[in-house]
Structure 1
């Protein structure tokens, strides 16, 4: 009887592991974009926007305003690619600095970075794939 219970528990654990290991392609894509975006954020953005995305006082805006990121999601790729200068309001606070352009970034890198930013720091906006990034960047106002 003890052996049957042990085997049953082992079988249950195996089934649980197999079930949890099966992710959809969308979940795998999201995870891949997010992880790669985190590395890009650390290399290109974290110095100004901070490890926690809260920015730096009046100098650099936070990336924690979910509403701003959601409303401007189609503009984020352009902002990353071409930089930003002039006044911008985030969380009711005005910033008037200059963000450098990341012209060397590919559409895939921008998609990964936007996926990370829009799903970190309290944000939950889902996958922003390379096709969306390419379309948005193609339509940038220059």
Structure 2
């Protein structure tokens, strides 16, 4: 066989087959080691970034569920303490005012005057009280 024949007869088919193999390498075949290492490093960095993003999201969700950060919790505790202290001060003030009013209030004695009643002896039965108005005599029906 002539080299020229091989070049013209088989060359284009072989060339096409080799180009298709090189354009789509096998997944395990590494054509460019530097690009491959860069690609692996970028995938690792991307997965680390995603893991950190998920961790931060979980922390913020937990804070949101709790409803406050540490600073807000401290501020809320101080607010509750001051409100409680104000309430206790108000109760003490009202208690002192009521004690002062009790001390200052004059003592008033209520004296009832009792009218003397008739003394009825035990032997005589008590007479029924006189009616205040006179009853009209009823006429018998005709």
The two structures have a TM-score, normalised by structure 1, of: 0.24
Which structure carries more helix by proportion?
A: 2
Q: Please say which structure displays the higher CA radius of gyration.
A: 2
Higher relative contact order (CA 8 A, sep 6+): 1
Which structure carries more strand by proportion?
A: 1
